[in-house]
């Protein structure tokens, strides 16, 4: 979707830091950066890791070609020696991280970047822009999927966000349990199943609702989904069953009191002999309205605006911080900020999920000792080794991991109300 590489998806000051570090001689010092959240925004009980695959894609394409270098030169962003360095830039370090679909908590080192300062500092913005967006969407999607139970969810928010964000959001939603998306680019690029039938415009185009329904049935078959709230819902349902018969696939409700209307439509469908016709509801749904509809005769949900905006929490509040660096003697030293309200913890860390005998998560253990605590499972995987991708995986693996990870969380993790993290993060 972009003609240029991903190298300019960065902030100006990252390049000027490289320039200054090249002059001071510190650019080649080995460093360790970590991505983590100080807290879970919006009072969420857990976060969901998503976007690691897109980070790997971006790093693969992170090159300063002639066009990028010309822009930097013409706008005097950096000096000539720095341009020479950038012309040969390749990230040759290592990445470790929580695999996609895994849950995380405050302080979880969800991504560790090891490399020289000049190589690693350039990646801050592109990594954070991907992870902050995708983790926020995946977390909201996970809450919605939990609220929906066994009822499938369709992601349909493309028209409510930036065109590139729409594709990423569809990917993150699928990872967290959505069944399909309306976005064809997400289907093409990531293999997310796509779905869709018709909008109100199709009904309004025809001289009558009956003509519109007949045209749709002729084209898509009796198993199609008819949008029945353009005019009168009861009349539309009657017409749909008349034309398609009892094998009508589904009807969609997009307005009104969805719970009340769903009950009325279910009774009408059953009375007409269409007891297998499903009811799909849309219209500004979020996890709270989905939960409120749990007792209604609804078979599936379509979610748009709330999903692609993180259901009110559009960023995961992740940060990218230097936690260790090589000193002048070539020895790695832990480093940390002491800023009021924004402290960090120094040292390269490893993370483990502590489980009780029943297999329920009780704590997030973050250690610098390198030793695996008892009754725990390691959370980090190798993603990049010496600049080469070693940890790429498909979305189906991430979906399965997420189902397993969510299942091991304590019951309070699934409360929709604002609160604290479901398990504590313990630093050793």
178-235 per-position pLDDT tens digit = 999 999 999 999 999 999 999 999 999 999 999 999 999 999 999 999 999 999 999 9
Distance CA 244, CA 213 (A): 9
Looking at residue 275, the DSSP 8-state letter turns out to be T
Instruction: Please work out, in degrees rounded to the nearest 5, the angle formed at the alpha carbon of residue 76 by the alpha carbons of 74 and 77.
Output: 115
Q: 3-state DSSP: the chain helix, strand, coil percent, rounded to 5?
A: 40, 20, 40
Could you tell me the pLDDT band of residue 375, with boundaries at 50, 70 and 90?
confident
What pLDDT score was predicted for residue 1?
A: 47
| pLDDT, position 42 | 95
128 close to 14: Cβ distance less than 8 angstroms: no
Is the model's pLDDT at 337 over the cut of 90? no
Q: Are 392 and 53 in contact (CB under 8 A)?
A: yes
Mean model confidence pLDDT for the chain: 96
Stretch 231-244: mean pLDDT = 98
Mean pLDDT within 320-348: 89
Look at residue 66 and give its three-state secondary structure. helix
Task: Specify the length of the chain in residues.
Answer: 428
Q: Which fold has domain 167-309?
A: TIM Barrel (3.20.20)
- The pLDDT value recorded for residue 101 is 98
Could you tell me where in the chain the CATH 3.20.140.10 domains are found?
A: 12-121+317-346+379-420
Residues in Cβ contact with 128 at an 8 Å cutoff, skipping those fewer than 6 apart: 35, 318, 319, 320
Contact 146, 82 (CB under 8 A): no
Q: Which residue intervals of the chain bear CATH 3.20.20.70?
A: 167-309
Whether domain 12-121+317-346+379-420 has CATH 3.20.140.10: yes
| Beta-strand pair 381-385/376-378 | unpaired
Measured CA distances, 9 to 61, 90, 215, 261, 396 (Å): 11, 15, 46, 47, 28
- Model confidence pLDDT, tens digit, residues 269-310: 999 999 999 999 999 999 999 999 999 999 999 999 999 999
pTM: 0.95
Q: Which residues contact 26 (CB under 8 A, 6 or more apart)?
A: 117
| pLDDT at site 344 | 79
């Amino acid at each position: 979707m972009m003609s240029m590489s991903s190298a300019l998806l960065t902030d100006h000051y990252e390049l000027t830091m490289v320039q200054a570090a090249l002059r001071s001689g510190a650019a080649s010092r080995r460093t360790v950066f970590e991505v983590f959240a100080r807290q879970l925004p919006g009072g969420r009980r857990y976060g969901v890791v998503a976007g690691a695959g897109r980070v790997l894609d971006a790093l693969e394409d992170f090159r300063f070609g002639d066009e990028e270098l010309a822009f930097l030169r013409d706008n005097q962003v950096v000096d000539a020696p720095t341009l020479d360095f950038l012309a040969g830039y390749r990230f040759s370090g290592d990445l470790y991280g929580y695999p996609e679909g895994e849950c995380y908590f405050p302080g979880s080192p969800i991504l560790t970047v090891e490399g020289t300062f000049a190589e690693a500092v350039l990646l801050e913005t592109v990594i954070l822009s991907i992870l902050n967006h995708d983790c926020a969407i995946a977390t909201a999607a996970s809450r919605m999927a939990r609220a929906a139970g066994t009822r499938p969810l369709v992601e349909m928010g493309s028209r409510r966000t930036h065109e590139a964000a729409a594709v990423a959001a569809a990917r993150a939603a699928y990872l967290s349990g959505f069944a399909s998306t309306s976005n064809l680019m997400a289907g093409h690029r990531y293999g997310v199943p796509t779905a869709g039938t018709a909008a109100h415009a199709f009904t309004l185009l025809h001289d009558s609702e009956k003509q519109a329904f007949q045209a749709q049935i002729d084209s898509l078959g009796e198993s199609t989904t008819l949008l029945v709230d353009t005019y009168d819902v009861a009349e539309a349902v009657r017409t749909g069953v008349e034309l398609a018969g009892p094998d009508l696939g589904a009807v969609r409700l997009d307005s009104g009191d969805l719970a009340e209307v769903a009950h009325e439509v279910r009774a009408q469908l059953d009375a007409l002999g269409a007891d297998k016709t499903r009811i799909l509801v849309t219209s500004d749904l979020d996890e709270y309205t989905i939960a409120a509809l749990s007792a209604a005769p609804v078979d599936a949900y379509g979610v748009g605006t709330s999903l692609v905006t993180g259901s009110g929490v559009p960023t995961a509040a992740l940060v990218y911080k230097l936690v260790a660096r090589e000193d002048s003697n070539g020895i790695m030293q832990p480093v940390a900020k002491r800023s009021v309200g924004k402290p960090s913890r120094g040292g390269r860390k490893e993370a483990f999920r502590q489980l009780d005998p029943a297999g329920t998560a009780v704590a997030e253990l973050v250690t610098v000792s390198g030793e695996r605590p008892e009754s725990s499972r390691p959370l980090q995987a190798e993603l990049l080794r010496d600049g080469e991708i070693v940890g790429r995986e498909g979305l189906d693996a991430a979906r399965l991991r997420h189902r397993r990870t969510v299942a091991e969380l304590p019951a309070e993790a699934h409360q929709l109300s604002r609160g604290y993290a479901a398990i504590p993060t313990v630093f050793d």
